[in-house]
Amino acid sequence: MELDYDFVRKTLIECAESEHLQGPTNKEIRNFADENHVSLNELAFTIDKMEEAGFITGKVTYSGEGPYVILIGNLTWDCNQYLNSIRNPSIWKETKQKLIDKGVTASFSVITALATAIAKQKLGL
């Protein structure tokens, strides 16, 4: 399965905007997946990868039939830095376009650096 960076961004924003101290509830995150036409397996994969990257404190618990409990938890400091660099829709769009134009895939750190550079350019820094 391939990581969908657009869905990662949406998921992080959903978590950041949650009213709950521990992020969206299992029910809320499942509804979020439905609203975004993402399967529970895709959602669980995304949450697992974000946890592996040290972006969230959440986890996925599996049963014999697949994902059972999906919790995002809180965003870490590094995740907040990443999200702050890509939260603005126009900066995110321009960041993705530059990657497409160059024909490259990138890590979170490269995406953060590129988005930050684009923001600095827009600010005249």
**What is the dotted CATH code of the domain comprising 5-75?**
1.10.10
Give dist(CA 31, CA 34) in Å, integer: 5
**49-107 pLDDT, tens digit each:** 999 999 999 888 888 888 878 888 899 999 999 899 899 999 999 999 999 898 888 88
pTM for the full predicted model: 0.86
Q: Where are the domains of the chain?
A: 5-75, 78-123
Q: How many helices, marked H, and strands, marked E, lie in the chain?
A: 6, 2
Report the chain's terminal Cα–Cα distance, integer Å: 39
